[in-house]
Amino acid sequence: MGQFTSEEKEAMKAEAGIAACAFVENGMRIGIGTGSTVKYTILELGRRIREEGLEISGIPTSDATESLSIEQGIPMLEWSDCEHLDLVIDGADEFDSELHLIKGGGGALLREKIVAESSGGMIVVADASKRVEVLGEFPLPIEVNPYGWEQTKRRIEAICGGVVNRRGPDYLTDNGNPILDAHFGPTIEDPVKMEADLRAISGVVEVGLFTDTADVVVLAAPGGCELIRKPTARL
C-alpha cells in the first residue's frame, strides 16, 4: 500500500473495521481482536451500543483491547461464564487465497487463537497489503516458554530457512512469554503442516499460523470494502 498516504491507509482501515460490524447482531457474544483496524470495530460497536441500544458482550484478546472496549461501554465476559462465542472479529498480518493467516505482529497470538477456536465464525479485517500468494514475507511470530527459550529457538531454526530473532530482550506478551519472529520469507506453501511441525516443538506455546480458521475477510480498498468469503464459511 505504498502508493497511499498514511491518511488514506487509515481511512481504509476505518472503513473495514466499521464494515465488519454488520455481522454483529443483538444478543451476540463476540471475540474482540487486537490491532489498528479492529480499533475501529470497537469504536463502532461502542457507538451502536450508545446510539442504537445494541446489546452485546465480549471477550478481548489483549489488555489493550480490553481497556478500549470497556472505555466504549462494551460489557466484558469471563471465560468461566462463557463456553462459546458467536463470532470473533480480528486483524491479520497476512492472508492467502485459502484464508490461512499469519497473526501475532501485535503479540496477542495465543489469546487470539483461544478466542478464534472458541467462536462460531471468524471475520478478518485487513487492507490490501495483507493479501499474499504465499505466506511468510511477514516474520512468523512464535510465542515460547521463557524456560530454555534459546534451545527452542535452535529447534525452530532447524525448520526455518531464515533468521529467527527474539522480539527484544525485555519484550513479553500479556501472558509473560517471549516471542520469536521467524523469517521464513514467502515460502510457507503448506501452512497446515508448518503449524503442526512448529507446535510439536517442546517450549513452543503457540504459533502465529491460523489455518482453516477465518471465514470472511473484509478487505479495505480505495473504492470500498470487498468481502472475501471462504466456500465453507460458517457466516
Q: Is there a catalytic annotation at residue 226?
A: no
Say how many C-beta atoms besides its own lie within 10 A of residue 110's C-beta. Answer: 21
HEC secondary structure over 125-140 = EEEHHHECCCECCCCE
Residue found by looking up cell 516458554 in the block: 145
Paired strand residues for 210: 101
Say how many C-beta atoms besides its own lie within 10 A of residue 228's C-beta. Answer: 17
Residue found by looking up cell 500468494 in the block: 133
- Joined grid coordinates for residue 205: 506455546
Name the catalytic one among 15, 66, 112, 195: 112
> What are the catalytic residues?
112
